[in-house]
A and B are shown apart, each in its own frame.
Chain A
Amino acid sequence: MRGLAQLRMRIRMLLRRGKAAERLDDELEFHLEQQIAENVAAGMSAGEARYAALRSFGNPGLVREQARATWNWGGLESIWRDVRYGVRTLRRTPGFAAIAIVVMALGIGANVALFTVVRSVLMKPLPFKDPDSLLRLYEQSAVDDEFPFNESAAGVFAEWKKQNHGFTDMALAGYTGYNLSGSGEQLPEGVHAAAFSWNLLPMLGLQPALGRGFTADDDRPSANPTVLLSWGLWQRRFGGNPAIVNQSVLLDAKPYTVIGVMPAWFAYPDARMQLWTPISYKYSPKDMETLDSHDFLTIGRLKPGVNPAQAVAELSHITLTIRNAHPNQAFISKAANWRPLLDSLVGDARTPLLVLLAATGCVLLIACLNVANLLVARAAARRKELAVRTALGGSRMHILRQHLMESLLLSAAGGGLGFLIAVGIVRWFVSSRHDLPRAEAIHVDPVVVGFTLALVALCAAFAGIVSSFSARGNAVLGMLQDSSRAHSAGSARTRLRAVLLAAEVGLTVVLLIGAGLLLKSYARLRSADLGCETHNVLTMTLALPDARYHEAAQRATFFAGLLARVRNLPEVRSAGLLCQNVPGSGYPGDSGFVINEHPPLPPGKGQYALNNCADPGYFKAIGIPILKGRTFDDTQQPGHLTQIIVSAAFVRQYFPGEEPIGKHLRTYGKPGLEIVGVVGDTRFSPGEAPRPSMYFPLYALDDVNSAALVVRSDRDVTALALPIQRLIGEFDHDLPVSDVLTMEQVVGRNTVDASFNATLLLGFAAISLILAAIGLFGVLSYIVAQRTSEIGIRIALGAQRQQVMGKVLLDGLRPALFGLVFGLAGSLGAARLLRTMLYGTRPLDPTVFGAVAAMLLLVAALACLVPSWRASRLDPMQALRTE
């Protein structure tokens, strides 16, 4: 009964609030009339009666407010009133509101975007069954201590799997690639792929989205060839048609049965993978027994309750036992090692992402400080209004609430806008950074929305509370008197603003120095000499399918024929072939060797060098100088491998003070290859120092089934890409060509990380610098406006204008100087964090620190110049008359 009546009342109070308010006024008016009538009846005059009635009634506005406060939805109403009031005040100063909202939006947007990325990449558990018990297992190399986290040899893995007690299961994976033949109109395509042991998917707790996974029967050398497609490849190449399952596709000209399609998010070992095949089918039994060729990725699942260190210690023991049993194989590892699977996937991305997140945190802090600063300025301008309101009975709590509401409105608008910005940034980030591990896991989800809301609340509270410090503690009377005449009061407020500014400048300095260090490092990286020509050089990779180019002679004929045709093309200045990884594009692999002319190495010791193979014209084609001797001669044909070329770093390390030409290397299963030449050093990655390298003659090797074609021209080399591809098509229309890139693009690809981080951080630093400059300008303008009459008096009393200007300038520069000092001190720590991301740049690089300090002072001086100049131009008469 009563519940119903209350509900009715609730609805009425919600829907007919305006009417109720009218009636309340009417009711109170009636009361007053009654009182007047009574007073008149008691013999007062009309005027007296009204005055007495009003006096006994008290403050009608207050009574009205207090009665209203008892109504239903009262809390909601007062919040709504604050919102409306806040919107109104903000609309009165649209410039201020717009600046504050944009500042907040930039800060919040950048943070939400980075948070989304960091959370998805670093924090979300891997989407596998019980991911915490999955370990990535490594071998610890016995040669030097250069590879504590080396890949596994398949033979060692087999022993681990057989003998261990700490793991429920272990699986093996290897990178590989295939030629996917086109059907109908489609062009052939070289695809990145991985080979798995059949138990990998069950171990991860995964099922293909379509069809089935591999079985133990598929994972044998004699099995029928089977393949799992990636979701992307299935959509792109096969139109997402489920009928593809159980059909066959041509990989390296051999039919493979498609047994399933993996879910869209699945990308192991990395995002480039297009398809997967069983590992024992892909690799020969001999490959799978090798003990010292570190080619494979191993994952293990710990038994419940087993300590990873203990389990891996057992693997180390197994490894050492194998090593001791084969003393002549120097490259067998001495121990095992491990990392959580998640760390192994995102390891390199962690530091840069956290640095960027910290940077966005700084930007947000600066944004908040700036908005707080603006609010303080407004609070100062509205002192009188606040004093009047306090005098009229506005409670302090109420005024504080309105203060917070205003900053909440700004933050909420900024947060809304920032969220949109963040969605845009995340989309751009995912599409521009394919190389980022787990990029496919980056999504804006409810947690991110929650994070945005939390940020909004935090910013609102921060900006609101900091700025309301300035409104606190001033006696009403004092405020009223204070604002009755604009002398240079409110020094507490000015000090607060100066502190905020110094903090802002300090954070800006940290960001600028971080950006400066990364930029310098990036410039170093880009200008690192790869050791070869990079201008107008085009590279492309071609792979010869085993099925059609089975004999080494067939391949040699193909390569030689192709090179001859390419060299004959007009515009082509020179052309050459390299087995893999042109300079700057990554680690090409390495091999052990023995120098026949040197005394034998102690047992268990090994020497290794990067290996690659090239046609005789390669060095000239790409501009690697032949420092000594000559290139391979025509005798290096299939079945006749006798020569080898080494690099300058090789000579420095292994032939110090000796003549290398004519010496012999035992490697690649050959008893003695004669060193015929020494060539200049190259870098496999722009950030890596040159390493000892060996080049085998390409035509003489019997296992080369892919090669990189390098073409140099005098003009724009990209124009040659199509004619060359057409030429290759004439040789073999089913031969895919991949990675068609100029050398500049190759380098760009491998420095994208550095450029990306440097650019982003520079962007953040630029935003901060602008914010800090705005802050400085605003504060100083405000101080000058506050002190107009004081300055007027000074000038009237004979102060020199330069003196005035200098004094005001100093006032503005003081917080900037404090901020600079604190910022430089903070940068010492920040730079240390950046150390691992730097190349050829010291963390405490004096040029960067100096340049940042100089730039900051310049910007600060510029920001302060206008207000101080204005102060010095004051007309004393006008200034004194201002009030």
Chain B
Amino acid sequence: MGKPNDLVQGTLDLLILKTLSPEPKHGWAIAKRIQQVSGEVLQVQQGSLYPALHRLEQQGWIEANWAESETGRKAKFYALTTDGRAQLEKETTNWNRLSAAIDLVMNEG
């Protein structure tokens, strides 16, 4: 079970970007989504999530918009920017290469 501190910072950023790629989401939904998709293994704590979101926003990878949520309350929705999408692709490629490489090492012998 991954504690938030175990998530390498860059990895959390990648997960957030990936989660946002189909459609904009608010913070709670992002955390839920990562939790669901990872089969409850990755639990993103608020203490990591919001600083990461704000950092990505400051860096211009994602942009925020206040819109009505499903419950009718105003919530902050994050969406990928064009740059963010490009960054996601780049990071995905990196990740694939890295994990493939790690796989190779782990499966050897």
**Chain A residues in the interface with B (C-beta under 8 A):** 1-2, 5-6, 9, 13, 23-24, 26-28, 30-31, 33-35, 37, 57-59, 62-63, 66-72
A66/B47 in contact, CB under 8 A = yes
Interface residues of B in 61-89 (CB under 8 A from A): 63, 66, 69, 71, 73-76, 81-83
A–B Cβ pairs within 8 angstroms, 29 of them? A1-B82, A5-B60, A6-B58, A6-B59, A9-B57, A9-B58, A13-B58, A27-B26, A30-B26, A30-B69, A30-B73, A30-B75, A31-B27, A31-B28, A31-B46, A33-B73, A34-B28, A34-B71, A37-B71, A62-B47, A66-B50, A67-B50, A67-B51, A67-B54, A68-B54, A69-B51, A70-B52, A71-B58, A72-B58
Residues of B within 8 Å of A26, CB to CB, are 74, 76
B51/A30 in contact, CB under 8 A = no
Q: Of residues A34, A57, A71, A72, which shows the largest number of chain B Cβ atoms within 10 Å of its Cβ? A: A34
Known A-B contacts A31-B28, A70-B54, A70-B55; the reply to A63 vs B47 at CB < 8 A is: yes
Q: Which residue of A lies closest to B52 (CB)?
A: A70
Determine how close the nearest CB of chain B comes to the CB of A685; give it in whole angstroms.
75
Contacts beyond the supplied A6-B60, A70-B58: 8 A-B pairs with Cβ under 8 Å:
A2-B83, A6-B58, A23-B66, A31-B46, A58-B46, A63-B46, A70-B52, A71-B54
Q: Of residues A13, A57, A67, which shows the largest number of chain B Cβ atoms within 10 Å of its Cβ? A: A67
In Å, the complex CA distance between A31 and B71 comes to 12
Residues of A within 8 Å of B63, CB to CB, are 5
A63/B50 in contact, CB under 8 A = yes
Residues of B within 8 Å of A62, CB to CB, are 47
Residues of B within 8 Å of A30, CB to CB, are 26-28, 69, 73-76
Determine how close the nearest CB of chain A comes to the CB of B5; give it in whole angstroms.
12
Tell whether B93 is near chain A: CB-to-CB under 8 Å. Answer: no
Residues of A within 8 Å of B53, CB to CB, are 67
Tell whether B94 is near chain A: CB-to-CB under 8 Å. Answer: no
Determine how close the nearest CB of chain A comes to the CB of B41; give it in whole angstroms.
17
Contact with A along B8-29 (1 / 0, CB 8 A): 0000000000000000001110
Determine how close the nearest CB of chain B comes to the CB of A74; give it in whole angstroms.
9
In Å, the complex CA distance between A254 and B50 comes to 93
Residues of A within 8 Å of B83, CB to CB, are 1-2, 5
In Å, the complex CA distance between A57 and B50 comes to 11
Determine how close the nearest CB of chain A comes to the CB of B3; give it in whole angstroms.
12
In Å, the complex CA distance between A63 and B54 comes to 11
In Å, the complex CA distance between A150 and B78 comes to 88
Tell whether B99 is near chain A: CB-to-CB under 8 Å. Answer: no
Tell whether B36 is near chain A: CB-to-CB under 8 Å. Answer: no
Q: Which residue of B lies closest to A37 (CB)?
A: B71
Residues of A within 8 Å of B76, CB to CB, are 23, 26-27, 30
Known A-B contacts A27-B27, A30-B76, A35-B28; the reply to A58 vs B55 at CB < 8 A is: no
Residues of A within 8 Å of B55, CB to CB, are 70
In Å, the complex CA distance between A35 and B46 comes to 11
Q: Which residue of A lies closest to B75 (CB)?
A: A30
Q: Which residue of B lies closest to A59 (CB)?
A: B47
In Å, the complex CA distance between A70 and B62 comes to 14
Residues of A within 8 Å of B82, CB to CB, are 1
Determine how close the nearest CB of chain B comes to the CB of A470; give it in whole angstroms.
33
Residues of B within 8 Å of A24, CB to CB, are 50, 54
In Å, the complex CA distance between A30 and B83 comes to 28
Residues of B within 8 Å of A37, CB to CB, are 71
A66/B51 in contact, CB under 8 A = yes
Partner of B45, one of A2, A28, A58, A68: A58
Q: Which residue of B lies closest to A27 (CB)?
A: B76
Q: Of residues A6, A9, A66, A70, which shows the largest number of chain B Cβ atoms within 10 Å of its Cβ? A: A70
In Å, the complex CA distance between A35 and B71 comes to 13
Determine how close the nearest CB of chain B comes to the CB of A61; give it in whole angstroms.
11
Residues of A within 8 Å of B69, CB to CB, are 30
In Å, the complex CA distance between A27 and B69 comes to 12
Residues of A within 8 Å of B50, CB to CB, are 24, 27-28, 31, 63, 66-67
Determine how close the nearest CB of chain B comes to the CB of A84; give it in whole angstroms.
22
In Å, the complex CA distance between A234 and B92 comes to 82
Residues of B within 8 Å of A13, CB to CB, are 58
Determine how close the nearest CB of chain A comes to the CB of B57; give it in whole angstroms.
7
In Å, the complex CA distance between A1 and B51 comes to 24
Residues of B within 8 Å of A34, CB to CB, are 28, 71
Determine how close the nearest CB of chain A comes to the CB of B75; give it in whole angstroms.
5
Determine how close the nearest CB of chain A comes to the CB of B89; give it in whole angstroms.
14
Residues of B within 8 Å of A58, CB to CB, are 45-47
In Å, the complex CA distance between A68 and B53 comes to 11
Contact with A along B25-50 (1 / 0, CB 8 A): 01110000000000000000111001
Q: Which residue of A lies closest to B48 (CB)?
A: A66
Q: Which residue of A lies closest to B63 (CB)?
A: A5
B46/A57 in contact, CB under 8 A = yes
In Å, the complex CA distance between A31 and B77 comes to 12
